[in-house]
Amino acid sequence: MPDTKGRRRRSSSLIYLEPPESLEQRSDQAALPNLNANWVNSKGAWSIHIVIIICFKIFYDTVPGVSQETSWTLTNISYMAGSYLMFHWVQGIPFEFNAGAYDNLNMWEQMDNGDQYTPTKKFLLAVPIALFLLSTHYTHYDLTYFTVNCLAVLAVVIPKLPSTHRMRFGLFSSQDD
Is 177 among the residues that bind another protein (CB under 8 A)?
yes
Contact between residue 16 and residue 9 where contact means Cβ atoms under 8 Å apart: yes
What is each CA distance from 171 to 11, 13, 43, 121, 162, in whole angstroms? 10, 9, 39, 28, 22
Directed axis angle between helix 68-84 and helix 47-62, to 10°?
140
Is 12 among the residues that bind another protein (CB under 8 A)?
no
Is 28 among the residues that bind another protein (CB under 8 A)?
yes
CB nearer to another protein: pick between 63 and 126: 126
How many other CB atoms sit within 10 Å of the CB of residue 132? 21
Is 116 among the residues that bind another protein (CB under 8 A)?
yes
Q: Which of 19, 55, 89, 115 binds another protein (CB under 8 A)?
A: 115
Output the smallest distance, CB 175 to another protein, in A: 5
Is 8 among the residues that bind another protein (CB under 8 A)?
no
Output the smallest distance, CB 155 to another protein, in A: 13
What is each CA distance from 5 to 12, 75, 127, 169, 177, in whole angstroms? 17, 44, 39, 19, 11
* Binding to another protein, residues 145-164 (CB under 8 A): 146, 150, 153, 157
| Measured distance CA(119)–CA(51) in Å, rounded | 19
* Binding to another protein, residues 50-109 (CB under 8 A): 96, 99-101, 103
State the residues that interact with another protein by CB under 8 A.
1-2, 20, 24, 28, 96, 99-101, 103, 113-119, 122, 125-126, 129-130, 132-133, 136-137, 141, 143, 146, 150, 153, 157, 165, 175-177
